[in-house]
Amino acid sequence: MGESNIRDGRNYGIDLLKMTSMLMVVFLHLLGGGGILDGLEQLSLGYEMMWLLETACYCAVNCFAMATGYIMCRTRFKYSRIIALWLQVVFYTLGITLLFSLFMPGYVGLRQWKWALTPVASMQYWYFTAYFGLFFFIPFFNKLIAALDRRELKRLVAAVILLFTMLPLISRQDVFRLHAGYSMAWLSALYFIGAYFRLYPPKRDVRSLQSFLGYCAMILATWLSKLAVQAASSMWGSGELRTGGALISYVSPTILAASVFLFLAFANKSFGPWAQKVISRLSPASFGVYLIHCHPLVWNYVLWGSLAGLTRLPAFVLGAAVILLGLGIYAACTVIDLMRGYLFARLGVAGLSVKAEGLFAAGWTKLSDFFENII
């Protein structure tokens, strides 16, 4: 990774990767939660096209988590970061719950308000809950990473790949309770992979196009494996078609490989001053896109199954509709979060987070000391 794509210690390719990954997450939720995949006939052209798009987007969460390791392994640890992020989450959990209570009051009760005030404990967003837990281990992870030389860190990454991706695939069991990647343990593993590429970028000149072709190859291999299993099941099987989705998982070795290739493609990409300005302005809103469209009330009562009717469209029209709808949702949520960012700036939320950091750190230290004395 050359330094030409990094300005003031910031890799704009990684910022763009975070934006792209979040757009992919929107596509995943439209296809899955929206009811499109379930509403299509298996092995039909539309079904296979939508599964190809699904597979292409499945590395999104892995890329987002690796970006965290890439950025945070060289960033000074501050509790104010998690405080500010928690305030952003609560802004949306409370705000969206309030909107539903006004316009769809039948869906909001005391339980929903309780969940809105406790987004981590109630697991309103699985990724934020997992990241919240990961955050408090980051200073210890960084000390471990700093203490390891390149060979040792490479062995750690190899252990992650062998134990967390290969072994579960071979045994066909969730051996280490990674919950298909929906867990803090998997985000932690990806943190180390992202940190490795920050500290030890590839020696040879790996061009973005080469990495992107590697990503395409892994996605195609994953999709073809599913197609092959379903085709064989249709020809020689009996009863219901097998899904053939063994490799379509966050912890799949081919999806992880696709994630790494896509990560490198963006990390090696250079941008001009104008593009850097646009990326730096829009990238912080990417997490807000997730918080808005994945709010439990939005997910359960707006998104879930709402797009099943689109499955009657011709395959290519359906594909275009999903892409346009995904882009529209991403753009709308980005605008909303930019306004939220402006409001937070006017209210001085960042400054409040910094002031609250001292109290939070002191309380956390006392609590840690308490348990240390007990142990």
DSSP string, 75-91: S---HHHHHHHHHHHHH
For 49, half-sphere exposure in the C-beta direction (CA atoms, 13 angstrom radius) is 17
How far apart (Å, rounded) are the C-alpha atoms in residues 36 and 46? 10
The 10s digit of each residue's pLDDT in 64-123 is: 999 999 999 998 999 899 999 999 999 999 999 999 999 999 999 999 999 999 999 999
Dihedral sign (CA 362, 364, 367, 371): negative
Residues 6+ apart with CB under 8 A from 277: none
Band of residue 241 on the pLDDT scale cut at 50, 70, 90: low
> In the 8-state DSSP scheme, what is residue 185?
H
**Total-model pTM:** 0.93
The 10s digit of each residue's pLDDT in 141-200 is: 999 999 999 999 999 999 999 999 999 989 888 999 999 999 999 999 999 999 999 999
More confident: 205 or 77: 77
